[in-house]
Structure 1
Amino acid sequence: ELVGIKGPRDCIIKLLTYEADSGPSRQQLKVVSIVGCGGLGKTTLANQVYKEINGQFDCKAFVSMSQKPDMRKILMDLLSQILGNGSPMCFDEQRLIDKLREFLKDK
């Protein structure tokens, strides 16, 4: 167990998985931004949240972003995780986005 991460992790999990008045939430899309200076543990915190709750979802992926993200690499990583194949895809960014949209449209 990482020191000092349980409280923030549990707080974010609650934000992502519970409705304000009605308990567990499964249908509403939610986004929680974790921001701060480099080296504070944002990626570690996000990864701990992901590891804790990813079993609740049929479709899931974890992607870490840098200050200068390579969008094509990020999209390829997302597709690789959700489609479950490691084969390299030689698509441009727009085709990767289209493929991702196509897969997620009925989720």
Structure 2
Amino acid sequence: MSRTLAALVVCLPLAAQPQTTPRPTTISAFFAQTFEERLRDEPEFATTAGRHDYDDRWTDWSKTGRDLRRAHRMERLRQLSAFPLASLNPQERLSARLMEYTLKKQLEAE
């Protein structure tokens, strides 16, 4: 899990497709789902991470693709805020704060 969380924190541009999967019920499931979506939406990152399921694709850098990633980041930020920080263990709390910071910075940079 630490490896997954570290990968999320390093660079976290998220999905270029609208979110259709149900909201995860635990923060760990949320992190895992977010990471899997990133692999799908950034095939080059997936390859770098050793996942070759998406080697036949490129990231969609069209305006539509960028707009979808922005909407997805906003949705992830909204979903993240639903997890009460007080109920998380220290590692989860740190990961949640880092994810929140990263998502906000990515949205500001667009």
| TM-score for the superposition, normalised by structure 1 | 0.29
Bigger Rg over Cα: 1
Larger RCO (CA under 8 A, 6+ residues apart): 2
